[in-house]
Amino acid sequence: MLHVRAEEDGDLSIVGATAFAGGLADALLAIHYLGVLLTEVRHIAPQFQVTVVRSPDGMSKQWVMGSFSIQRAAVWVLQNYYTEFPLYNPHLDRMPPIRKRHPSMNNSTATSFKFYDFDGISSTFTPSGGRMSRRGSSHNERFYEEHEYERRVRKRRARLVAATEEAFTHIKRLQDEQGKGIKRT
């Protein structure tokens, strides 16, 4: 046990000063931990339910969250999105469709990709020079595929905008109703 010894002129010893400073540091550390604990407990208490819907494939998840600022809520939602949503590759929508080949090509299915024979081994799908013939219709098919993809993207975007506007209208209506119920003196 440390004893603080007073000198004749009223000054404290170095041992007493360091004990006092250590006590203050412990008190400040305890206050800091209490503040962190209270901040985290406030965020744990469920206050809002957030639903996130991924537009291209319609995958959705719901989470309950506490009281956050908009910025912290956005970071929290993004962290949960990256950990809980399965991976999605938007380029899979742009994959060319499988279609029937020309009758002279053994009536088997193939993609609209070009195939090249680099090894010199001939196969059943190389009718002319190692390359699949396209009969000049590829640019039309590609145009319609891109047009269809852009149409789906615009449709999803319109649905998302409509849902967002509806949600904000609903929130405004609730705030207006709560404002009317409060009497002011």
- Residue 120 included in any domain: no
The model's pLDDT over 45-87, given as tens digits with 9 standing for 90+, comes to: 778 899 999 887 788 899 888 888 888 888 988 998 888 888 8
Say whether both 144 and 83 belong to one domain: no
DSSP string over 78-130: HHHHHHHSPP--GGGGGSPPPEE--GGGTT-EE-SS----SSS---TT--BTT
- Residue 26 included in any domain: yes
The model's pLDDT over 118-171, given as tens digits with 9 standing for 90+, comes to: 666 655 544 444 444 445 567 788 888 888 999 999 999 999 989 889 989 998
Residue that is written with structure tokens 């010894």 in the block: 5
pLDDT of the residue at 178: 84
- Residue 109 included in any domain: no
Where does a domain end: 88, 104, 119?
Answer: 88
- Residue 125 included in any domain: no
- Residue 103 included in any domain: no
Where does a domain end: 27, 62, 88?
Answer: 88
Question: How many structural domains compose the chain?
Answer: 2
- Residue 29 included in any domain: yes
Say whether both 2 and 69 belong to one domain: yes
Give the mean model confidence (pLDDT) for residues 29-42: 86
The model's pLDDT over 87-132, given as tens digits with 9 standing for 90+, comes to: 877 666 666 665 555 555 554 555 666 666 666 665 554 444 444 4
- Residue 68 included in any domain: yes
Where does a domain end: 88, 123, 151?
Answer: 88
Task: Inform me whether the pLDDT recorded for 31 exceeds 90.
Answer: yes
Task: Inform me whether the pLDDT recorded for 28 exceeds 70.
Answer: yes
Q: What is the C-alpha separation between 117 and 140, in angstroms, rounded?
A: 26
- Residue 101 included in any domain: no
Range of the domain at 82: 1-88
Say whether both 6 and 79 belong to one domain: yes
Average pLDDT, the chain: 76
